[in-house]
Chains A and B, each alone.
Chain A
């Protein structure tokens, strides 16, 4: 059923720390590795070793440069995957009921055996979170590793999404954002976590922690500076001639 639930028992999601992310793309690789061989159809690649490679990914890392009005530019690495929106437009547009949002944990999933591959859900997603797999003809998206987080065959430490488990910088956090006392909710409150494209009204569950302000490099006068002045003088002799000759060329 592609009508959205009125509310969900929990709001499982990710908190992504833009201050900490180093842009290593390890989450991208671990996501593809886990999800190509577990839930649903594999994440296919086309022309993987050829001149024009492309493939299906559920998580991609962009990099942005932010130039403040004053001060230095900042480079911000920006991982992006499904935000498991509370008001998910991808669910309501689906004509077959293949797209749905779970009542128990708020995860947005695709039932691939019902998906006709019309692509309308991807059209309705402002975040580019859904990709139609070119080999299978069905829509693929982040499942929040639904086959890991409740999997009692895995050690408890591994019962988090693959991207979270892999991140070497600790930039990704997983938890219940519907519970104000959860670690992730406290983190969002403390760091003023934000929504992407708030104006779209999708009410994303995933939050992004903005980068902390950079240290200001103040103009300093070093009292030793005069002593460190360059000692090179005008070259003389052969080097002087060579310098002039090269200048003239």
Chain B
């Protein structure tokens, strides 16, 4: 799949933002007034900024409001609803915490639930696609949720919880890569089933439909950078999990915490780049690519 920057920015930042909103909704850290204002500002900047970035890849962003109509069948529509509900509920909760000195905990819990639901619905947009076996796994939502919670805990300044959640996320990431690498082969889809000719012998793509490229090849048959995938996995793993855990184990300082957060964001973004760039869409089989 083509790793579009808008979608990588969106899933990375809004995952972190909604993760932080989840913890704020639970009342962690227990802050109020201007300190709380800064926490909420960071959470909203990340989540809303990410959502705005996601509209950049649309052909007609001015019609994006129509995406709220099909929540009965479409995960993308459900994501839109969850995000808007989470942001409104958490906005009301934030008003109480920042300006009224009140913690309306029922509202916070509701907002926290919708914040996680937003991340889950985002992950289901990818997970539902049978056409991309690497995404069509239960590990995909597990990965998105664990990343969001680990990043949220990190931003919320929860040292112990962060370390635990980072280790959990790292484990899920490793499992995702391990299972993902064989997902296409295990799906049973190959050029033989794609053409229906597999029972007759070895099928080879002899000639593509056009000499030039097309939308399908640009969008679904991204192979650039695959050769560096192993190195990028190591870089991503070190930045997203190992370095932050190390910095959190050191005696606490705000500088170390900031480095841990930045390292984590860079690592998650790299992981998301790989999430798209390494995903094999079965349409590539028709072009003899895979």
List chain A positions with a Cβ less than 8 A from chain B: 1-3, 18, 25, 28, 52-57, 60-69, 73-76, 78, 80, 89, 91-98, 114-120, 122-128, 131-132, 134, 136-138, 194-201, 208, 210-211
A64, A91, A114, A119: which contacts B203 (Cβ < 8 A)?
A64
Could you say which residues of chain A place their CB within 8 Å of the CB of B200? 66, 68, 74, 210-211
Min CB–CB distance B287 → chain A (angstroms): 8
Stretch in B205-213, B228-236, B245-253, B260-268 touching the partner? B205-213
The residue in chain B whose Cβ has the minimal distance to the Cβ of A196 is B196
- Supply 17 A–B pairs (Cβ within 8 Å), ascending by A: A60-B209, A63-B207, A64-B203, A91-B73, A93-B73, A95-B74, A116-B61, A116-B66, A117-B58, A131-B215, A132-B59, A136-B59, A196-B193, A196-B196, A198-B193, A199-B188, A210-B196
Q: Does B69 make an interface contact (CB < 8 A)?
A: yes
Do the beta carbons of B197 and A210 come within 8 Å of each other? yes
A128 to B205, CA, bound (A): 15
A54 to B73, CA, bound (A): 33
Do the beta carbons of B195 and A196 come within 8 Å of each other? yes
Do the beta carbons of B70 and A97 come within 8 Å of each other? yes
Could you say which residues of chain A place their CB within 8 Å of the CB of B1? 123
Compute the total of residue contacts between A and B using a CB distance below 8 Å. Answer: 193
Chain B interface size range: 35 or more
Do the beta carbons of A95 and B206 come within 8 Å of each other? no
Do the beta carbons of B196 and A52 come within 8 Å of each other? no
Could you say which residues of chain A place their CB within 8 Å of the CB of B206? 63-65, 75
A220 to B13, CA, bound (A): 72
The answer to whether residues A138 and B60 also contact, given A92-B73, A126-B130 and a CB cut-off of 8 A, is: yes
Q: Quick one: CB contact mask for B181-198 with A, threshold 8 Å, 1 for yes?
A: 000000111010111110
Do the beta carbons of A116 and B129 come within 8 Å of each other? no
Stretch in B36-44, B75-83, B155-163, B165-173 touching the partner? B75-83
